[in-house]
């Protein structure tokens, strides 16, 4: 049987990894969307000026 | 650039609520396993992430087939979205599994059939992303990617079946364990309910992120188009 303290430590580490990777991916999606939206608006403005 | 459809907004809220409910079920509803106790709780999200990861790789292959038939860039965007998201979910499954393995097997990693095939699967699709970047022509890139995902998808059933076909220490959740398996356990009905709820939750999260990633790909395509128009 695995000791309680050891077991809790690895469980927390596991969930920390799961939540961190998922959160990082969602943040990366958000940042990429924001940057593309800005590029899109800039290009549209340039097109209007032309 | 279209605003988020109402269904997607509902899906955003549903994903968050389901995720919180799944966490609640893992920690408050599912009983503690007798031998592994707390660390066994990693299992619920580990299996759910592996499931959606594999599902996405298959979805990418299907999108690849549709691209080869229709030659519509829309399917290349869908294929790329499926691969990217699946890579993230499958990476989580591998990392969480390794952390579970340390107290259960005494090592984070061992080159047994399931872990080896899972690592190969992840690397096959990392290579897909890297190789795509090396092709400038969108049609050639899409054609290459479609064929690649079709061939790459062969590693999905191999990874899935590896614990059923070979002598392995990795436990089998549904089916018969190998004589060499370590860390297997009998699931109670509460554990089964939690597992299926986690599978459902991550399937919803997958659909949600997949939709967002497709929208991102469409926006990227629009920006590329505008850049090309500006250059001409």
Express each pLDDT in B2-18 by its tens digit.
Answer: 889 999 999 999 999 99
Matching residue, tokens 């009983």: B31
pLDDT-based confidence at residue B34 (cuts at 50, 70, 90) = confident
Q: Taking the domains of chain B in order of start, what are their residue ranges?
A: 6-27+40-231
Best to test chain B binding among A10, A23, A42 (most B CBs inside 10 Å): A10
* Contact between B95 and A21 using a beta-carbon 8 Å cutoff: yes
Output the CA–CA distances (angstroms, integers) from residue A31 to A8, A10, A11, A24, B28, in the order listed: 34, 31, 30, 10, 34
Give B10 or A3, the one with higher predicted confidence.
B10
Q: What is the mean pLDDT of residues A16-42?
A: 97
* Contact between A2 and B104 using a beta-carbon 8 Å cutoff: yes
pLDDT-based confidence at residue B232 (cuts at 50, 70, 90) = confident
The pLDDT, as a whole number, for residue B172 is 80
Q: What is the mean pLDDT of residues B166-182?
A: 73
Closest partner residue to B216 (CB to CB) among A13, A18, A36 is A36
Q: What is the mean pLDDT of residues B106-128?
A: 95
Contact B57, A26 (CB under 8 A): no
The pLDDT, as a whole number, for residue B166 is 84
Least confident of B28-32, B177-181, B186-190: B177-181
pLDDT-based confidence at residue B178 (cuts at 50, 70, 90) = low
Beta bridge partners of B37: B33
Residue B130 has pLDDT above 90, yes or no: yes
Contact B61, B152 (CB under 8 A): yes
Residue B177 has pLDDT above 80, yes or no: no
Closest partner residue to B219 (CB to CB) among A18, A37, A44 is A37
Residues of A in contact with B209 (CB under 8 A): 25-26, 29
**Cβ–Cβ contact B16 with A under 8 A:** no
């Amino acid at each position: 049987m695995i000791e309680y303290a050891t077991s809790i430590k690895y469980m927390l580490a596991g969930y920390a990894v799961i939540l961190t990777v998922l959160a990082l991916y969602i943040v990366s999606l958000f940042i990429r969307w924001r940057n593309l939206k800005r590029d899109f608006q800039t290009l549209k403005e340039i097109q209007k000026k032309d | 650039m279209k605003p988020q459809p109402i269904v997607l907004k509902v899906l955003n809220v549903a994903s968050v609520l389901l995720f919180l409910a799944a966490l609640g079920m893992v920690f408050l509803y599912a009983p503690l396993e007798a031998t592994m106790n707390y660390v066994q709780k990693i299992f619920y999200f580990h299996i759910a992430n592996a499931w959606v990861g594999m599902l996405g790789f298959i979805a990418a292959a299907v999108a690849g087939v549709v691209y080869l038939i229709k030659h519509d860039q829309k399917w290349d965007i869908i294929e790329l979205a499926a691969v990217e998201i699946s890579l993230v979910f499958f990476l989580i499954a591998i990392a969480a599994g390794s952390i579970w393995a340390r107290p259960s097997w005494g090592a984070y990693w061992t080159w047994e059939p399931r872990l080896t095939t899972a690592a190969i699967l992840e690397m096959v699709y990392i290579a897909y992303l890297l190789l795509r970047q090396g092709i400038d022509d969108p049609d050639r890139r899409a054609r290459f990617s479609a064929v690649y995902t079709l061939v790459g998808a062969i590693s999905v059933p191999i990874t899935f079946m590896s614990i059923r076909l070979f002598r392995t220490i990795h436990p089998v959740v549904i089916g018969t364990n190998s004589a060499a398996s370590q860390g297997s356990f009998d699931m109670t009905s509460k554990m089964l309910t939690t597992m299926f709820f986690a599978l459902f939750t991550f399937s919803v999260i997958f659909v949600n992120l997949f939709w967002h990633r497709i929208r991102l790909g469409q926006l990227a395509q629009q920006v590329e188009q505008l850049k090309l128009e500006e250059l001409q």
